[in-house]
């Protein structure tokens, strides 16, 4: 898609200001909340919001509210997308201002990761109890079993395996299973549960959902259960999960529908307050998966959370289009 001369001028005018260029460089790394941008840029919220408004009007970034927070990300697939990408690749990677911004952003990430690590370590032993406060696990697990099908599966991969419930649920239907998690405390609990379940073919490994280091198309069933709402870049996690789905294999994602329970951010380290169906459908399509099906499960108690279960497949049609 090309730009008219006037459109190109508007795009360059929007990007051609130091703070706005810095914002574009930061959002090229991942979606960020307004207050996170304020911290990195060391600017007031009204000033940053003004820059973001101009960038959004030019079609360079998109705004999406999430409860009381507002996130921004680069606009993907728009007419200005290629021009912005080209502009950012032309900037010297050693530029001192952008280098300082990257360091500040890394500090924000490190603080966030530390808080999450402490939370998971503190709550590992009662993880299932915390989750069941909001969701009927019995209904969710029944829906996941139905979405997965009877198997047998050659290889099951559970990303963000937590206390190992998906491994003990689906592991009996898999010839080999692998669970990845960043929390050693969670992995220790998962190992105990897997052993108790007698799943000899199940491996637990310390690993990053954004960079699993697993081969392409190496699992015929990949599960991401109640993980995405903790992540800084859920779309990237979906893309990585889809990458390891084998031809005719499935990806199952279980997470919350959009909600407004803000206390989950502060008390339980949730970054995103659920996911809308159009947003998830776009991520799955961009990751090369099709035949998307969605199941909605109402909360177990009044004021609780609705769970969505997305199932997507690596079809032969998508294999050919990717090739």
pLDDT digits (tens, 9 = 90+) for 119-146: 666 666 555 555 555 667 888 899 999 9
> What pLDDT, in 10s, does the model give residues 236-291?
999 999 999 999 999 999 999 998 888 888 777 788 999 999 999 999 999 999 99
What pLDDT is stored for residue 265 in this prediction? 82
- Once rounded to an integer, what is the mean pLDDT over residues 82-88? 82
From CA 323, how far away is CA 313, in angstroms rounded? 16
Class in CATH terms, 126-322: alpha beta
The strands making up 61-66's β-sheet, listed across from edge to edge, are 32-33, 69-74, 61-66
Class of domain 5-91: mainly alpha
Whether this prediction's pTM lies above 0.85 is answered by no
Q: Which pLDDT score is estimated for 74?
A: 87
Q: How confident is the model at residue 86 (pLDDT cuts 50, 70, 90)?
A: confident
Predicted confidence at residue 323, as pLDDT, reads 44
Phi, psi (degrees; rounded to nearest 5) at 109: -60, -45
Question: Which helix H or strand E contains 41, and what residues bound it?
Answer: helix 34-41
Which residue do the tokens 């966030």 mark?
A: 112
Rg, Å, the chain Cα set:
21
24 vs 252: CA distance, rounded Å = 32
**Nearest to residue 259, comparing CAs of 28, 17, 67, 5?**
67
More confident call, 29 vs 168: 168
Tell me how far apart the alpha carbons of residues 279 and 247 are, in angstroms, rounded to a whole number: 24
Residue 134 has a pLDDT of 63
- The 10s digit of each residue's pLDDT in 172-229 is 999 999 999 988 778 878 888 888 888 888 888 888 999 999 999 999 999 999 999 9
**Contact between residue 45 and residue 37 where contact means Cβ atoms under 8 Å apart:** no
How far is residue 279's CA from residue 286's CA, in Å, rounded to a whole number? 11
Backbone angles phi, psi at 300, to 5 degrees: -75, -20
Which of 67, 221, 257 lies closest to 148, judged by CA?
A: 221
Q: Over the stretch 47-68, which tens digit does the pLDDT of each residue have?
A: 999 999 999 988 888 888 777 7
Q: Where exactly does CATH 3.40.50.150 map onto the chain?
A: 126-322
The average confidence (pLDDT) of the chain is 86
Q: What's the CA gap between 255 and 152, in Å, rounded?
A: 25
Most confidently predicted of 38-42, 106-110, 188-192: 38-42
Intervals of CATH 1.10.10.10 along the chain? 5-91
């Amino acid at each position: 898609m090309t730009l008219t001369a006037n459109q190109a001028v508007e795009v360059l005018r929007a990007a051609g200001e130091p703070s706005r260029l810095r914002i574009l460089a930061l959002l090229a790394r991942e979606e960020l909340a307004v207050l996170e941008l304020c911290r990195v840029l060391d600017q007031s919220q009204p000033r940053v919001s003004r820059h973001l408004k101009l960038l959004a009007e030019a079609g360079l970034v998109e705004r999406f509210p999430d409860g009381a927070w507002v996130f921004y990300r680069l606009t993907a697939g728009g007419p200005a997308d290629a021009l912005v990408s080209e502009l950012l690749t032309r900037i010297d990677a050693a530029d001192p201002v952008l280098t300082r911004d990257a360091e500040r952003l890394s500090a924000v990430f490190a603080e966030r990761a530390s808080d999450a690590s402490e939370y998971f370590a503190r709550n590992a032993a009662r993880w299932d109890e915390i989750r069941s406060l909001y969701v009927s696990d019995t209904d969710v697990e029944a829906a996941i079993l139905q979405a997965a099908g009877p198997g047998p599966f050659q290889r099951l991969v559970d990303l963000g395996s937590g206390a190992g419930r998906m491994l003990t649920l689906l592991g009996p239907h898999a010839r080999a299973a692998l669970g990845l998690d960043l929390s050693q405390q969670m992995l220790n609990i998962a190992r105990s549960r897997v052993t108790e379940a007698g799943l000899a073919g199940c491996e637990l490994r310390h690993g990053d959902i954004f960079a699993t280091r697993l081969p392409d198309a190496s699992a015929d069933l990949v599960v991401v259960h109640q993980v995405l709402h903790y992540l800084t870049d859920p779309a990237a996690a979906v893309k990585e999960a889809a990458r390891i789905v084998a031809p005719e294999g499935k990806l199952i994602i279980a997470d919350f529908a959009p909600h407004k329970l803000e206390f989950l951010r502060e008390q339980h380290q949730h970054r995103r307050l659920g996911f809308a169906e159009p947003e998830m459908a776009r991520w799955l399509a961009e990751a090369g998966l099709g035949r998307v099906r969605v199941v909605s499960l109402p909360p177990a108690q009044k004021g609780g959370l609705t769970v969505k279960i997305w199932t997507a497949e690596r079809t032969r049609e998508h294999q050919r289009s990717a090739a």
